[in-house]
A and B are shown apart, each in its own frame.
Chain A
Amino acid sequence: MDYATLLQVLDTTLRLATPLLLACLAGLYSERAGIFDIGLEGKMLMAAMSAGAVAYLTGSVWLGLLAAIVGSLLFAAVHGLASITFRGNQLISGVALNFVASGITVLIAQSLFGQGGRTPPLEGAARFNPIKLPLADELAGVPIIGPFYAEVVSGHTFLVYVGLLMVPLSWWVLYRTRFGLRLRAVGENPASVDTAGISVVRLRYTAVAITGILCGLAGAYMSTGLQAGFGKEMTAGRGYIALAALIFAKWRPWYCLWATLLFGFFQAIALRPDVIENTIGISIPVPALDALPYILTVVVLAGLVGKAIPPRAGGEPYVKER
């Protein structure tokens, strides 16, 4: 593989890793607070459709982004209601919401646009366009670093940079703020938070809302950044891959970045089977490449690469004990 091809693959990696990263961080907040969320997929799908539809109708990608967040928050609220207020089973709630999202997004898009559940293609201000970072042209001549900066780092859409900035921000929130301390505590032992006089319910709703917002960004990126418009089931399991990445990342923000970049890299090379064949001399079937993230997750879960210990109170509704 020559350097230009490598840069192409890395560029694609970053583009494909972004929705995974945003969704992975979304899951991080919820799961750190003790609410398992298998419904990342559904929220992303809902957000992608909302963004695509509103951006097309208004011509403004920013209104589309807002709609994506609102749509995703709506689903997050239902999940919160089911799992926090009514202490229901978090897996069932998440799976149900995924099914609802799968159907309702197509239904709405079809009734609005009548194009078989798609939104019409977005153009101009209705989608996020690549941003050229400062000095990209000036540095392009510098060997190695120049092309890397110009090709891989620069030239992405707004939400890619938002995703990357969310990583240090999440780390800071989680480990350097009062809110982060309480969030981590409520996912480990809600009784400790409750007896300290802090509302478990409010903390968990806040976490679930943050999850909703980040899933909104992830979904909006799908339909207005990565692609130009919403299509049926366009998230294609990314919510689940993000969950796998979250486990791989052991519920830590920086690890989330590395995990999603790795999974993004697999997706990128799955798009370029020719590159692999040229590099290692063997042709690997694309489905096998697609399966790599899941195989990795199984390896992690089996405890082969260190132990992934989920937040201890995860998945369990908090009931004051007698």
Chain B
Amino acid sequence: MGGGRPTSAAPSSRPFAIELKGISKSFGPVQANKDINIAVPKGTIHGIIGENGAGKSTLMSILYGFYKADAGEIFVNGNLTAIPDSQSAIRAGIGMVFQHFKLVQNFTVLENVVLGAEDGALLRPSLAKARKSLQDLAQEYELDVDPDALVEDLSVGHQQRVEILKALYRQAEILILDEPTGVLTPAEADHLFRILKGLRDQGKTVILITHKLREIMEATDNVSVMRRGTMVGTVKTAQTSPEELAELMVGRKVLLEVEKKPAHPGKVVLSVQDLRVKDEIGVERLKGVSFEIRAGEILGIAGVAGNGQSELLAALGGIQRAAGTVTMNGAVLPLVGADANGRARREAGIGHVPEDRQTLGLIMDFTAWENVAFGYHNEPKYQKNSLLMDNDAIRADTEKKMATFDVRPPIPTLAAKNFSGGNQQKIVVAREIESDPDLLLIGQPTRGVDIGAIEFIHKQIVALRDAGKAILLVSVELDEIMSLSDRIAVMFDGRIMGFRDPETTNERELGLLMAGVSGDAA
């Protein structure tokens, strides 16, 4: 906890590293930032929290010179500073670690660090100097990375360190991190926070953008809350609570815990034995996975992204060839050949909310009603006769689903891309849940979805369970797995490391399993 550091003392004793006054920014008709004021004291970790689309990233991109504000002033260390481009931001001592890393994948760590900060027209001296300086930084801040490794060979955690090193190499005194933990294991995230606290203790200022309340509470000294492009307020972390912050973010009371009654598992719906998947270059991504899911039960699959969860969903959803035995309601499902496809799986009673809704769940340029029909377009209720589809029926059905799932705006003729992330997800979830599947596969149900919609989607998942359906939930958000699941399986490197009961396990234990440590390999 970072509480107890004085932050509201007189400006003279603790000057502000960053002060933004009256920042506004519009993208066409959308006002992303409205008259934002914020002051970040020097030598603190300052959290900025808000729902997706609240304008956090836009604000920080303005500070880093990536966008130009329509109005407002930026003060760095008390001096009015114009930041028309990233070069100016770097000169002002500001460094940024973006959510999606800005690294050149087939360059070495050293080359990435040096890029844009070279000392002269020739590379050798710059590289030598950077090598020396990386050694010093590594010792000072626990930032060890092999300078000669190719970035594409590094884990995401290490890639993030390269980004931090890039900023420090450029003498950044103020470091902005945009959603830094989305791709990290809990252990990696802890390590990151240790690094950040080390930086703060050396007098650097850290701005941490996140939508995770837990991180704010753990790592920051102060926190500013944004909602719909405005700054709602700044509070000391030690004097607030997650509940209060959530209410500030959303503008109303939010249930952070999912309310659910004990599960009453029934008969086995899905049985998976020794499921294996190879990718297109022949590497085994799923190395013999076995489990069962019963009716009225949510099995949560925890794990860091890329450990076989996607392949598991794809294999069960019929969009990826696999080997092994899968039985659904007692019938064996074909895993290869022409009968292994998404439609056949739907007919077998499997609904699928894919992890990446924008490429697999929706066609972004098509309307909501067309998207609602996809996968179910052969259903008799959507047919006018043997040749023509009944578009009016689909549209009417879409309107009904939009009302039930609170999709905003409830306009069936709007293209999918024009809905917010949360509402896109509601369209996909509505389509799959309303088709009344016996088993629902649901991947990253709340990725890029705001808190209000998360609450709603979670309720729908629990309601489906209570209606006696089986649910396979895959998520990289440990909180989500812990609060929704009736049983948890942790995946690492294509295997299930073990099963845990959410009532008796904890994040530490799951985190170790996610990192491949210990466990009772199944």
Contacts and interface: CB of A to CB of B under 8 A. Distances in A.
A320 B122 contact: no
Interface string B90-120: 1000001010101111110001101111101
Given A181-B118, A197-B65, A197-B90, 5 more contacts: A176-B124, A184-B104, A189-B104, A192-B103, A196-B117
B487 to A, nearest CB: 39
Nearest to A196: B116
Interface in B74-95: 85-90
Contact of A192 (B58, B112, B122): B112
Contact of B86 (A180, A185, A194): A194
Interface in B113-144: 114-118, 120-124, 126
Interface of B: 27, 58, 64-67, 85-90, 96, 98, 100, 102-107, 111-112, 114-118, 120-124, 126, 166
A179 interface: yes
B124 A182 contact: no
A223 B114 CA distance: 44
B66 A195 contact: yes
A181 B115 contact: yes
A151 interface: no
B87 A178 contact: no
A197 B107 contact: no
A177 B123 contact: yes
Nearest to B86: A197
Nearest to B91: A197
Given A178-B122, A181-B118, A188-B104, A195 B98 contact: yes
B126 A192 contact: no
A197 B95 CA distance: 11
Given A192-B112, A194-B86, A320 B66 contact: yes
Report the interface size class on chain A: 20 to 34
Contacts of A296: none
B86 A195 contact: yes
A188 B102 contact: no
A179 B116 CA distance: 10
B27 A322 contact: yes
B105 A185 contact: no
B155 to A, nearest CB: 18
Contact of A178 (B66, B123, B166): B123
A275 interface: no
A176 B122 contact: yes
Contacts of B115: 181-182, 185, 192-193, 196
Contacts of A194: 66, 86, 102
Nearest to A320: B66
A177 B124 CA distance: 8
Nearest to B116: A196
A95 interface: no
Given A176-B123, A178-B122, A192 B102 contact: yes
A181 to B, nearest CB: 6
Interface of A: 175-182, 184-185, 188-189, 191-198, 312, 320-322
B294 to A, nearest CB: 43
Nearest first, the 8 A-B pairs at minimum CB distance are: A196-B116, A197-B87, A197-B86, A178-B118, A192-B102, A195-B102, A188-B104, A191-B102
B98 A181 contact: no
B432 to A, nearest CB: 29
Contact of A185 (B58, B66, B104, B121): B104
Given A192-B115, A193-B115, A197-B116, A179 B106 contact: no
Contacts of A196: 86, 90, 102, 115-117, 166
Contacts of A188: 104-107
Nearest to B30: A322
26 contacts: A176-B123, A176-B124, A177-B121, A177-B122, A177-B123, A178-B120, A178-B121, A179-B121, A181-B115, A184-B104, A185-B104, A188-B104, A188-B105, A188-B106, A189-B102, A189-B105, A192-B115, A193-B115, A193-B116, A194-B66, A195-B96, A196-B90, A197-B65, A197-B85, A197-B116, A322-B58
A312 B65 CA distance: 25
A45 to B, nearest CB: 34
Contacts of B105: 188-189, 312
A32 to B, nearest CB: 12
Contacts of B122: 176-178
B472 to A, nearest CB: 32
Contact of B126 (A175, A178, A189): A178
A63 B100 CA distance: 50
Contacts of A189: 102-105
A184 B166 CA distance: 18
A184 B115 CA distance: 10
B38 to A, nearest CB: 21
A179 B126 CA distance: 13
A178 B58 CA distance: 31
B66 to A, nearest CB: 7
Contact of A181 (B27, B100, B111): B111
Greatest chain B CB density within 10 A among A179, A188, A192 is at A192
B281 to A, nearest CB: 10
A179 B166 CA distance: 19
A195 B67 CA distance: 11
Nearest to A182: B115
Nearest to A179: B121
A181 B113 CA distance: 11
Contacts of A175: 123
A179 B115 CA distance: 10
Contacts of A322: 27, 58
Nearest to A178: B118
A181 B96 contact: no
B104 A192 contact: yes
B90 A185 contact: no
A179 B117 CA distance: 12
A196 B116 CA distance: 5
A178 B89 CA distance: 21
A196 B91 CA distance: 11
A97 B75 CA distance: 49
Nearest to A192: B102
A320 B116 CA distance: 18
Contacts of B98: 195
Contacts of A179: 121
A180 B121 CA distance: 9
Nearest to A187: B104
Contacts of B120: 178
A316 to B, nearest CB: 15
Nearest to B96: A195
B22 to A, nearest CB: 22
Given A193-B115, A196-B86, A185 B124 contact: no
Greatest chain A CB density within 10 A among B98, B103, B104 is at B104
Contacts of B86: 194-197
Contacts of B96: 195
Contacts of A177: 121-123
